[in-house]
Amino acid sequence: MNEILEILSHNARITPEEIAKLTGQSVSAVKNAVKKYEKDGVIVQYKTVINKELLEDTHPLVRALIEVSITPQKDVGFDYIAERIYSFPEVKSCYLVSGTYDLLVEVEGENIQTVSNFIASKLSPMSNVRGTATHFLLKKYKEDGHTLKKGKEKQRLNISY
Amino acid sequence: MDISKKVEQLKPSGIRLFFDLVLNMKDVISLGVGEPDFVTPWHIREKAIFSLEQGYTSYTSNKGIIELRRLICHHLQKRHGLAYDPEEETLITVGVSEGLDLAVRAILNPGDKVLVPDPSYVSYPAVVELAGGKVILLKTDIHNGFKFSAREIDKLCAKGAKALMINYPCNPTGASYTKKELLEIARVAERRDLIVISDEVYDELTYDFDHTPLSSLPGMKKRVIYLNGFSKAFAMTGFRLGWACGPAKVIAAMTKIHQYTMLCASITSQMAALEALRGNNHDVLDMKKEYMRRRRFVVSRLNEIGLDCHMPEGAFYVFPSIKRFSKNSVEFATDLLKKKNVALVPGVAFGSSSEGYVRISYASSYENLKEALLRIESYLKQ
């Protein structure tokens, strides 16, 4: 990955001036590169990773991973039916996978009931969907490389040779 | 109790007070740390745990587990084309620190002179003095990028030195030597018949050119004691593990001291090190990439705020001059610590010619570095 993208992927709040210092490039070169990545859709969005499990005041949302078996359609294969599924806002991610089922769909809802309803009324009855198997997430340990655990106290000495 | 005169005369401790102050303070942003800010990669820690579960808790042979010595030699062959015999020419030590002590004690007779760079890592003059040797300082400063030249070595050799200690990339300055510069040093070492103790523990953190081990140069293998370890390349400082390679005769002598004083390095650490060398080196490469960026950032910020700083070739240290603001590095560091809660190491800790400098370690998160430099900037503006 390009160095600017690598830095931004770890810290979206870093300024072009700072990136310039880190990479040894000029500020305007960095700005232009970022602008181009945004325009080309390489940079999709700048977002914050939030550990919702630590937020006590909000009602936690429920997530489920759903294995979906489908019958591919002539000419458009899996893409057509995948698009019909991922267009629902309840669907947070959608992957075509190898193995015993076809699509792995991640769905979010307010509680088990809403997620179940979505599956029963929207997903399962869809033509070409042959079957589903739903796994509700019970606890998140790690997400996208981030370990979701409270930071440990640092263990290094303040000073050493 | 009556203490040995030799030990009592050992320097420092002007700086001990400063260290105690830092260690007891809370909420300090520290740029004073001489170890990576990464935890040992998980596959290595996992292997150490597994070895304990399997009951590997005994002594090992004095020289260290033979498979580990073989792997180290294989690694040196592959990485640098160095050919060392794992049986006769390799010793596993408790960190490079022990390696330094053994090397010096194995070669020195009372009164023998050793060329020691100034500034240098804190233990260099101390181990020479403890071994009964005499230190001849090889001074470097910011104008020559903290490097000494072959000519300077040659000049000082007129005083009759037996050995030269060299550390590149260097703690505390980050300076390193190109192959061309090393070839010149090698030529003088040969002409002056010097034994060279070469501490290359930061070799994996060389940024602008490839690291060349001194012993890989023509004619040098027979006069170099090559020291390296796992602390920096694999973020394994607390495991305390290093190695020494050299001619069979000197390794045998070092092993003799090692067996009477240390017996062997910890078996858990040796098991972990086996895994470190067997694994891929992605962790090392990622770490190096990250340090390279922080180096650029720190050097550019320091020069911006008025602390003259050269661009070091390796390690994770920069060694800026504070002379425009203060003559006394301990006072400067103490005042900065008290007023801004930023810790760094006064240059004088690394030798008298480093008064007027401080060591800043960029083995700290980018956010920390950014904040610390803002605080130093506001301190200097007062």
Q: Supply the DSSP string of A90-159, one letter for each residue.
A: TEEEEEE-SSSSSEEEEEEESSHHHHHHHIIIIITTSTTEEEEEEEE----SEETTEE-SPPPPP-S-SB
- For residues B141 and A33, give the distance between their C-alpha atoms in angstroms, rounded to a whole number: 39
Helix residue ranges, H only, chain B: 5-9, 16-23, 42-53, 66-80, 95-107, 123-130, 150-157, 179-191, 248-261, 267-278, 282-304, 329-340, 366-381
The two beta strands, B113-118 and B134-139, are parallel
Q: In a 3-state reduction of DSSP, which class is residue B11?
A: coil
Residue A154, pLDDT score: 61
Do A142 and A148 meet the contact criterion of CB atoms below 8 Å apart?
yes
Do B240 and B213 meet the contact criterion of CB atoms below 8 Å apart?
no
Contact call for B121 and A156, based on CB within 8 A:
no
pLDDT in tens, chain B (382 residues): 999 988 888 876 567 888 888 988 888 999 999 988 888 999 999 999 999 999 999 999 999 999 999 999 999 999 999 999 999 999 999 999 999 999 999 999 999 999 999 999 999 999 999 999 999 999 998 999 999 999 999 999 988 999 999 999 999 999 999 999 999 999 999 999 999 999 999 999 999 999 999 999 999 999 999 999 999 999 999 999 999 999 999 999 999 999 999 999 999 999 999 999 998 778 778 889 999 999 999 999 999 999 999 999 999 999 999 999 999 999 999 999 999 999 999 999 998 888 999 999 999 999 999 999 999 999 999 8
Pick from B108, B208, B220, B136: nearest CA to B168: B208
What residues in chain A have their Cβ under 8 A from chain B's Cβ atoms?
Answer: 3, 7, 11, 18, 21-24, 156-161
Residue A153, pLDDT score: 60
Structural domains in chain A, sorted by start: 3-40 (no CATH), 57-138 (3.30.70.920)
The rounded Cα B283 to chain-centroid distance in angstroms is 20
Q: What six digits make up the tokens of A60?
A: 């936690």
Contact call for A159 and B30, based on CB within 8 A:
yes
- Distance of residue A129 Cα from the nearest chain B Cα, in angstroms: 42
**Residue of B120, B296, B330, B364 to mutate when probing chain A, most A C-beta within 10 A:** B296
Residue A152, pLDDT score: 63
- For residues B192 and B162, give the distance between their C-alpha atoms in angstroms, rounded to a whole number: 9
Residue B293: its chain A contacts at CB < 8 A?
A: 3, 7, 22-23
Contact call for A158 and B293, based on CB within 8 A:
no
Residue A18: its chain B contacts at CB < 8 A?
A: 297, 370
Residue B351: its chain A contacts at CB < 8 A?
A: none
**Residue of A22, A30, A157, A161 to mutate when probing chain B, most B C-beta within 10 A:** A161
A76-84 — which CB contacts under 8 Å span 24+ positions? A78/A102, A78/A103, A81/A126, A81/A128, A81/A129, A84/A126
Which chain B residue has the Cα nearest residue A10?
Answer: B366
Report in angstroms the alpha-carbon separations of B212 from A101, B169, B176, B248, B355. Answer: 54, 11, 10, 22, 30
Question: Over 70: is that where the pLDDT of A151 sits?
Answer: no
Which chain B residue has the Cα nearest residue A23?
Answer: B293
- Environment class of A57 (CB within 10 Å of its CB; exposed 0-12, middle 13-18, buried 19+): exposed
Residue B12, pLDDT score: 62
- Interacting residues of B276 by C-beta distance below 8 A, sequence separation 6+: B41, B44, B230, B234, B236
- For residues B5 and B178, give the distance between their C-alpha atoms in angstroms, rounded to a whole number: 41
Q: In a 3-state reduction of DSSP, which class is residue A67?
A: strand
Structural domains in chain B, sorted by start: 5-40+282-381 (3.90.1150.10), 42-278 (3.40.640.10)
Residue A150, pLDDT score: 66
Select from A23, A24, A159 the Cβ nearest to the Cβ of B23. A159
pLDDT per residue over B106-136, tens digit each?
999 999 999 999 999 999 999 999 999 999 9
Residue B236: its chain A contacts at CB < 8 A?
A: none
Q: For chain B, give me the number of helices (H) and strands (E)?
A: 13, 12
First to last CA, chain A: 35
Which chain B residue has the Cα nearest residue A21?
Answer: B297
**Partners of B227 in the beta sheet?**
B199, B244
Residue A24: its chain B contacts at CB < 8 A?
A: 296
Contact call for B33 and A21, based on CB within 8 A:
no
Contact call for A160 and B33, based on CB within 8 A:
yes
Q: In a 3-state reduction of DSSP, which class is residue B92?
A: strand
- For residues B281 and A143, give the distance between their C-alpha atoms in angstroms, rounded to a whole number: 24
Whether the ω angle into residue B117 lies within 30 degrees of 0, i.e. cis, is no
Residue A130, pLDDT score: 94
pLDDT per residue over B155-166, tens digit each?
999 889 999 999
Pick from A127, A18, A157, A36: nearest CA to B19: A157
pLDDT per residue over A6-25, tens digit each?
999 989 999 999 999 999 99
